Amino acid sequence: MAETTPIGALLSAKYKSSYAYVTVKDRLPVILSKIVDSLYRNKEKIHAQYGVEGSEELKTLIGKISKLRNEVQTNKPILPITDSDSDVGDWNDYLIEEKERSNGVQPSWFNNPWLYVECYMYRRIQEAVNLSRTLNQIDVFQESKEGTFFSSHEAVKVLLTFLDDSISNQKSIDDNILVKSALSKFLRFSLWGNKCDLSISAGFENSQKQSPVKTLEKLESNILVDNTEDIFNVLNQLKNKKEGPLEMDIILDNAGYEVLTDFCLAEFLLCSGFAKCVRFHGKNFPWFVSDVTRRDFEWTLNTMAASENSVCATFGKTWERRLADGSWKFTTHRFWTLPHDFNKMKTNSHNLYDQLASSDFLIFKGDLNYRKLVGDINWDMTTSFSKSIRDFHPAPVCALRAIKCDTVVGLNEGIAEKVAKEDPQWLINGNWGLICLSQNPS
């Protein structure tokens, strides 16, 4: 039977050897240190763009990030958000609720659910940016995100060439067996693209260096839940029921190489006749180091379109046209950058829930989205994915996730124990994956 407490609910002595404790005490300060280093390194560039006022505000911004790092390291109390963004009430109400759940004890960095404090750290970073006059549009993670994209260029070319070949063979793709095989590959490209996560690597370079095609072969046995056939069947049923292509949503995770894999999946779904429109959901502000913002989304397409590599340029221009003709859409919502799990969406952000309910199929990318789908709850690992997402079911839900924390569901009996013997770090190293589907609430 599942425990209904969050993973790492209290980072007391019981959890001091856990990944949750390491995340808060060690990894988060490293991320903050890398922000400070990046801002120092780019001070001349910032001065050239923003002038003397920008240089002075840069010192203040660096000071605030350094102060936040000290708060994390010394387990200071969690403080209310003080800027004027529309989500301030949500964050500060959540802080009050956390205090009530802690029997009146003021929440602090080591003593409250790590999903909350990790999300809170990124909101505090954005608070420091928002309170600037001239630097209030700066992305403190921009340098690392762009660097990861460029360092993955060889893998990008291989992936796009594979996509181009798949589209060129469109006549034979009418064969259901070939369609299913191609869908399987693009789901896997998107799944393993999730290994390139800068928040897990604490902001250190984490690009795709190997051929993505070879990665599929190497990691095939590492997919612990594989609902690919069910996904194919559901897409076919929906397509036939609607007598035409579907509208789909992809809730994005990381920029860089990973978002390229998501673009390729979307393009395949469109070209194979499964989708007529794909709506991408990104973040309102920089989040978990490498999550996709509108700027990242547009920068990626513009950079590809201007590439000297022909296949990159071709798809970059194609995808810019898709945005123009509406077959691709990009949207954001403040709910994606709140600490709530998705079971709270219907009451907290019903307009977003209604938007997702208008979709035919939902694809959630990455570890954080998965944790929020299942509530970051310590479920028994054999619990079904449909049960673990509880009342969140606006449409069929697919989750593609490389495992990077210790909440996992949907495994067959004995699988967790077998994998743990083979790889003691399997819950945190991103080398094991899940392709999950929930069609109906259980």
Q: Quick one: average pLDDT of 88-99?
A: 96
Residues 155, 257 contacting (CB under 8 angstroms): yes
Q: Quick one: average pLDDT of 412-418?
A: 97
CA 199 to chain centre: 10
In DSSP terms, 218 is beta-bridged to: none
What SS3 state is found at 111? coil
Give the residue from 380, 375, 377 showing the smallest Cα distance to 340.
375
Q: What is the pLDDT of residue 7?
A: 43
What is the H or E stretch that residue 251 is in?
strand 246-251
Name the token pair of 141.
Answer: 């993670």
Name the token pair of 57.
Answer: 């505000």
Residues 373, 389 contacting (CB under 8 angstroms): yes
Q: Give the DSSP per-residue string, 383-437.
A: S-HHHHTTT--SS-EEEEEE--SS----PPTTHHHHHHHH-TTTTTSS-SEEEEE
- For domain 142-438, which CATH number applies: 2.40.50.140, 3.40.50.10880, 1.10.357.10, 3.40.50.300? 3.40.50.10880
**Cα–Cα distance, 240 to 426 (Å, whole number):** 39
Average pLDDT along the chain: 89
**Cα–Cα distance, 406 to 421 (Å, whole number):** 15
Distances in whole angstroms, Cα of residue 15 to Cα of each of 71, 113, 250, 379: 20, 11, 34, 17
What secondary structure, in 3-state letters, does 205-248 show? CCCCCCCHHHHHHHHHHHEEEECHHHHHHHHHHHHHHHCCCEEE
Per-residue pLDDT at 210 exceeds 80: no
Q: What is the pLDDT of residue 195?
A: 84
Residue 261: which residues within 8 A CB-CB, separation 6 or more? 159, 186, 189, 190, 192, 193, 212
Q: Quick one: average pLDDT of 62-68?
A: 98
CA angle 319, 325, 329 (to 5 degrees): 65
Q: What are phi and psi of 249, to 5 degrees?
A: -125, 135
pLDDT tens string 278-308: 999 999 999 999 999 999 999 999 999 999 9
Give the residue from 424, 360, 358, 429 showing the smallest Cα distance to 397.
360
Query: pTM of the predicted model, to two decimals?
Result: 0.93
Per-residue pLDDT at 206 exceeds 60: no
Tell me which CATH code domain 13-130 carries: 1.20.930.60
Band (15; pLDDT cuts 50, 70, 90): very low
Tell me the CA end-to-end span of the chain in Å, nearest whole number: 15
Domain extents for the chain? Answer: 13-130, 142-438
Per-residue pLDDT at 24 exceeds 90: no
Per-residue pLDDT at 94 exceeds 80: yes
Residue 10: which residues within 8 A CB-CB, separation 6 or more? 111, 112
DSSP code at position 439: -
Band (311; pLDDT cuts 50, 70, 90): very high
